[in-house]
Structure 1
Amino acid sequence: MRWLPALYVAALLVLEPLTPVEWPVSFVLIALPLVTAFAHGPVAVAGATVFAIVLEGVLAGTPCCAGRSVGYLWDRHYVAAYICTALVGVLGTILAAHRTRRERTLADVRFVADIAQRVLLRPVPHRIGRLQMESLYVSAAAEARIGGDLYEAVPTRYGVRLLIGDVRGKGLLAVETAAALLGAFREAAHDEPALPALADRVETSMNRRATLLGGSEVGERFVTAVFAEIAVADPLVRVVNCGHPPPVRIRSGEVRELDSGRSAPPLNLGMLVGEPYHVDTYSFLPGDQLLLYTDGITETRDAAGTFYPLLQRLRSWGPLPPQDLLERLHQDLLEHSGDRLQDDVAALAVCLSAGEPSVPPPSPAG
């Protein structure tokens, strides 16, 4: 785009001597200020306006152009073109100034959003003891940085505790809900010895917040989530599913959804059922990998409306390191959707390697 004005002038200079009429192609220079305003600031647009008027005069006053025997430098039609170019230049300068201000505002907003994302969705540690971890977050909105999808990994005395969730809805309310949920999880993960108790405590925080917000949609402010815990010493992973897509365990020769069919309701809807959370336990051996993800992945559609076949893709790829897995997943989603993701995407990949216990000794604070 920055070279567009130069290309525009070059094309005009090529066409000018080839035009077999008594009026020059230089009239189209009237648009040069607006062409310049697409990618340049107001000073450049003002300079392009002066250049366009001068070049119009040069071309109009040159007899050899377009087969003319005399020049028409001060012909009334050309004088009108000079005036029109000046007026368009003023308009282009104003538009360029407005565009520049908007771009600066957008850059500031994106900077603030980047900072907010680092606070809300801070990067997970690449390694905790024997666990290798990577995270992925992609917003469906081109200019957005954060939304209602969330993830977290917290090392505790009970093991590494993982969370992935998806807040209902979009916008500021979804971001605020995600922030409240993450804050409750980060605090309670160190205190609650049992995974169901951790989920119950987080839901209590969500219920309290929904009540304080008030309004007619208190019961609809819910979050689907998966709580997972990779034990300190035992080769196990424990899962509490609250209405969320089940995690996937990737093992050499096997890709399996960890779904017992006993998922609890989403957070903030559990009070409608009143049943305790159920924990499912699965083996998790060295070399195994756990993939937690939001439904933005499995609900991604191609041009024909076909959902993304996550399990099929994972089986075809075979075991991959966490970083390579998420990079390949991201690229494959873009190819499947034609670079048009319909929903936010979040994923968390955890791999257990051989070695010492998977969790370092807890800090004095727990």
Structure 2
Amino acid sequence: MRRVPERVSLTVVTDHPAPRRWQDLPRRQPLQWARGRSFSWAAPLLLLAGITAVDLNTTERFRIISWIVLVPGIAAAICGVWATAVFAVLAVLDYIAVDSVWPHQYQAGLPDFILVAFAGLLAILACAVRAGSERRLLHMRDIAETTRRTVLRPLPPGWAGLDHAEVYLAADTVARVGGDFYDIQPGPHGTRVLVGDVQGKGLGAVEAAAALLGTFREAGYHEKDLATVAGRLETRMLRHRGHTVALGRDDGDRFATAVLLGFPPGVRDAVEMVNFGHEPPLAVGPTGVRALPQGDGLPLGMAELATASGLPPTRTVTLAADETLLVTTDGVTEARNADGEFYALPEEAARAATSDPALLVAHLRDGVLRHSRGRLSDDTTIFAIRRTATP
């Protein structure tokens, strides 16, 4: 469950800012931009002009025209293939022009000409390889982004009668996916919310999170009792583990902590809650911050270790109309600063002085990143919800 950020949805999603770009594979963006125009060609052009000027304005004892081999090399690092080819040709032509200005006895001659021409060809080849690698990397990021949006689907504003804001910051900034999960599922028996964290990292954690969310979306809609939804989640986790064991993988002991919430229809001051070993949610309101009952249940996938029925009890908690439920994963509470101190979530939530979900989540997101200096050791989710002002 360990390992900035990439996605924020305050019903804004930053991912890493809003990762809602689902066009075709994005094209490579040049490094230098000004007013919407690329100026990546400026550096090799200035280097070309500088080498030419210095060589022409110094004595024969300081001939540096052969340094022009650097020009296509710089272009290969920051420009496209065609631009690199242009600079390779310019370097050769410039070399011929400048070298021929000098008397024959001071000319660099054929050996350096071959060096400049050969360096230009190598630069073009290197640029083509680099461009291909960038295209593959962009394609991989596009796949990772699609995977994340499949697991953590976008939630419409005011979805299912709830004001909500959520931030997901993946510790793996390359893969940009992890084991944290959340969702809101409306249904005939009220609105259900699930926020959790799968133990471990990598694709195995993503698979487990996707399995749990798929079950939640079905059970949360069809099942009348929240306890039945909880039971379905426990069964799904066990089935998923059994499948991974049958495949010969070594993650057959994976589990997940989670908070399952139910907002019954017609009841505006009560919330049902099942806590699977997760840190208890906080109720944030104008009068301060209070912790809801501590989770005394075992994580999903470990019910067989319990002495009683196995599943955590369903609790009903009172929530004022101006209070917001705040659920976070341990990437928040375990974020450390340079002195090794943990992030003080309750105090920071109180310091936010707001119960608006979007403002609260934005405050905590910035606080966690500032506290950890942007070095998150675990996937981090901050999820805030409250009933809308009107049913």
Query: Whose Rg is larger?
Result: 1
Q: In 2, Cα distance between the equivalents of 1:58 and 1:72?
A: 16
Partner of 2:298: 265
Corresponding residue to 1:290 among 305, 325, 347: 325
Secondary structure of 1:189's counterpart equals helix
Q: In 1, Cα distance between the equivalents of 2:61 and 2:323?
A: 79
Deviation at 1:192, TM superposition (A): 2.7
Deviation at 1:284, TM superposition (A): 1.2
Tell me, yes or no, if structure 1 residue 171 matches structure 2 residue 207: no
TM-score normalised to the size of structure 2?
0.81
Say how many residue pairs are matched. 347
Q: In 2, Cα distance between the equivalents of 1:25 and 1:128?
A: 67
Secondary structure of 2:221's counterpart equals coil
Tell me, yes or no, if structure 1 residue 102 matches structure 2 residue 129: no
Query: Where do residues 86-235 of structure 1 align in structure 2 (5 Å cutoff)?
Result: 86-128=117-159, 130-214=161-245, 215=248, 217=250, 219-234=252-267, 235=269
Partner of 1:52: 91
Secondary structure of 2:61's counterpart equals coil
Alignment CA distance shift 1:7-1:248 (3 Å): farther
* Amino acid aligned to 1:52: A
Corresponding residue to 2:349 among 296, 314, 317: 314
Tell me, yes or no, if structure 1 residue 40 matches structure 2 residue 41: no
Q: Report the aligned-residue RMSD.
A: 2.3
Q: In 1, Cα distance between the equivalents of 2:225 and 2:120?
A: 70
Partner of 1:6: 45
Q: In 2, Cα distance between the equivalents of 1:279 and 1:44?
A: 65
Kept in 2: contact 1:49–1:86 (CA 8 A): yes
Q: Deviation per CA, 1:90-138: give whole Å up to 9, x if none.
A: 2211111111111111222222222222221111231146421122222
Q: In 1, Cα distance between the equivalents of 2:253 and 2:75?
A: 50
Alignment CA distance shift 1:143-1:276 (3 Å): closer
Partner of 1:23: 62
Deviation at 1:272, TM superposition (A): 1.8
Q: In 1, Cα distance between the equivalents of 2:251 and 2:177?
A: 23
Q: Deviation per CA, 1:232-258: give whole Å up to 9, x if none.
A: 223112221112222111011211222
Percent of counterpart pairs with the same letter?
A: 33
Partner of 1:325: 360
Q: In 1, Cα distance between the equivalents of 2:44 and 2:217?
A: 54
TM-score normalised to the size of structure 1?
0.87
Secondary structure of 1:340's counterpart equals coil
Q: Deviation per CA, 1:214-271: give whole Å up to 9, x if none.
A: 14745521111111112322311222111222211101121122233x4211111111
Kept in 2: contact 1:61–1:72 (CA 8 A): no
Q: In 2, Cα distance between the equivalents of 1:336 and 1:21?
A: 59
Partner of 1:244: 278
Secondary structure of 1:172's counterpart equals helix
Q: In 1, Cα distance between the equivalents of 2:135 and 2:372?
A: 31
Query: Where do residues 326-345 of structure 1 align in structure 2 (5 Å cutoff)?
Result: 326-345=361-380
Kept in 1: contact 2:158–2:388 (CA 8 A): no
Partner of 1:67: none
Any unmatched runs of 5+ in structure 2? 1-30, 32-39
Q: In 2, Cα distance between the equivalents of 1:336 and 1:352?
A: 30
Kept in 1: contact 2:242–2:252 (CA 8 A): no
Deviation at 1:54, TM superposition (A): 2.0
Q: In 2, Cα distance between the equivalents of 1:188 and 1:331?
A: 35
Q: In 2, Cα distance between the equivalents of 1:250 and 1:332?
A: 16
Deviation at 1:202, TM superposition (A): 0.7
Q: Deviation per CA, 1:180-201: give whole Å up to 9, x if none.
A: 1101111111233332321121
Deviation at 1:311, TM superposition (A): 1.7
Any unmatched runs of 5+ in structure 1? 64-69, 357-366
Deviates more, 1:212-221 or 1:238-247: 212-221
